[in-house]
C-alpha cells in the first residue's frame, strides 16, 4: 500500500524546525512511505483578505502567490507532518496564513473528494524548553481537526501532542537531549522520528480499514 507523506517546515530559515521535520520524514521512509518536503524559505504566502471570491465558485483562492502550489501537494498527500518555530507562544505568521487560506476550500468539497490528508502530526521548536511548544502544537492540531485530519501524537521520549524541540541557535537541535526525566536518555530527534513512524502507521491502518469496509473517503465525516 502506497502512502504519501508530506513534510512542511514553516520556518523562514533552513534551521532547527526543518531538521526535525526531515527526521520525521526519514522515519516515514523507513516504513515505505513516499515522502515530499516543502520549506517556506523564500515562499510568499499572503494572509487571507476575506474577499470571499472563493465562495463565488470553484473553491479556489484568487490570491496570486505560492499558496496554491503548496496546497496542491497538501491535498494530494495521505498524511502530513507540519513543523513551526514558536513565535510569541504560537505558530509563526507564515504557517497561520497558510492554514487560514484553506478556508477557501469549503467543507462540502472537503467531504466530497480526496482533498486532504487523512492523518497529521505536529512539530514545534522554541528557544526555551517551555517556550510555547504546547500552544503551537495545539494550534496545528486544531487546524487538523477543522480540516478533517486526524491528529497523532508521540509516545517517545514521553507522551506528547507532537514532537518538540528546544534550540535557539541554528543547528542546536541536534544536541537537544532529554536527560532529566524518568527513563533512558532520549532526544528531540528521536521524538520527531517517533512522530514520523506513528503518522505513517496510522495512515496505513486507516487506508486499509477504508478498503476493507468499503467506506469511501467522501463518507468519512467526523
pLDDT at residue number 53 = 85
Task: Quote the strand ranges of the chain, DSSP E.
Answer: 4-9, 34-39, 79-85, 119-126, 150-152, 163-166, 177-178, 186-187
Average pLDDT score over the chain: 88
Q: Which band of pLDDT confidence, cut at 50, 70 and 90, is reported for residue 46? A: very high
User: Which set of grid coordinates corresponds to residue 34?
Assistant: 513516499
Residue 72 has pLDDT above 50, yes or no: yes
Domain 4-219 has CATH 2.102.10.10: no
pLDDT at residue number 138 = 98
pLDDT at residue number 107 = 54
pLDDT at residue number 177 = 81
pLDDT at residue number 122 = 98
Across 184-205, average pLDDT: 92
pLDDT at residue number 198 = 97
pLDDT at residue number 159 = 82
Question: What is the rounded CA–CA span in Å between residue 131 and residue 141?
Answer: 18
Question: What is the rounded CA–CA span in Å between residue 158 and residue 111?
Answer: 34
Q: Which band of pLDDT confidence, cut at 50, 70 and 90, is reported for residue 170? A: confident
pLDDT per position as a tens digit, 76-130: 999 999 999 999 999 999 999 999 998 887 655 444 455 567 899 999 999 988 8
pLDDT at residue number 218 = 59
Provide the sign of the torsion angle of the four alpha carbons 12, 169, 187, 14, taken in this order. positive
The domain ranges of the chain are 4-219
Strand partners, 154: 160
pLDDT at residue number 56 = 79
Q: With CA atoms as reference, report the closest residue to 100 among 41, 136, 143, 153.
A: 143
pLDDT at residue number 143 = 95
pTM: 0.91
pLDDT at residue number 123 = 98
Amino acid at each position: 500500500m502506497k502512502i504519501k507523506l508530506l513534510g512542511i517546515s514553516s520556518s523562514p530559515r533552513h534551521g532547527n524546525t526543518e531538521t526535525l521535520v526531515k527526521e520525521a520524514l526519514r522515519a516515514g521512509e523507513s516504513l515505505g512511505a513516499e515522502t515530499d518536503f516543502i520549506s517556506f524559505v523564500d515562499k510568499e504566502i499572503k494572509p487571507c483578505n476575506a474577499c470571499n471570491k472563493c465562495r463565488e465558485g470553484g473553491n479556489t483562492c484568487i490570491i496570486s502567490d505560492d499558496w496554491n502550489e503548496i496546497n496542491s501537494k497538501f491535498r494530494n498527500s495521505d498524511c502530513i507532518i507540519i513543523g513551526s518555530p514558536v513565535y510569541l507562544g504560537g505558530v509563526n505568521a507564515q504557517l497561520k496564513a497558510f492554514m487560514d487560506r484553506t478556508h477557501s476550500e469549503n467543507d462540502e468539497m472537503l467531504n466530497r473528494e480526496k482533498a486532504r490528508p487523512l492523518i497529521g502530526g505536529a512539530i514545534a521548536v522554541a528557544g526555551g524548553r517551555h517556550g510555547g511548544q504546547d500552544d503551537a502544537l495545539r494550534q496545528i492540531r486544531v487546524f487538523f481537526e477543522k480540516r478533517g485530519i486526524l491528529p497523532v501524537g508521540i509516545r517517545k521520549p514521553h507522551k506528547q501532542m507532537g514532537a518538540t524541540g528546544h534550540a535557539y541557535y541554528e543547528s542546536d537541535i541536534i544536541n537537544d537531549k532529554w536527560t532529566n526525566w524518568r527513563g533512558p536518555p532520549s532526544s528531540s530527534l528521536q521524538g520527531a522520528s517517533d512522530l514520523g513512524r506513528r503518522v505513517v502507521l496510522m495512515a496505513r491502518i486507516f487506508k486499509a480499514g477504508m478498503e476493507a469496509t468499503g467506506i469511501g473517503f467522501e463518507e468519512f465525516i467526523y
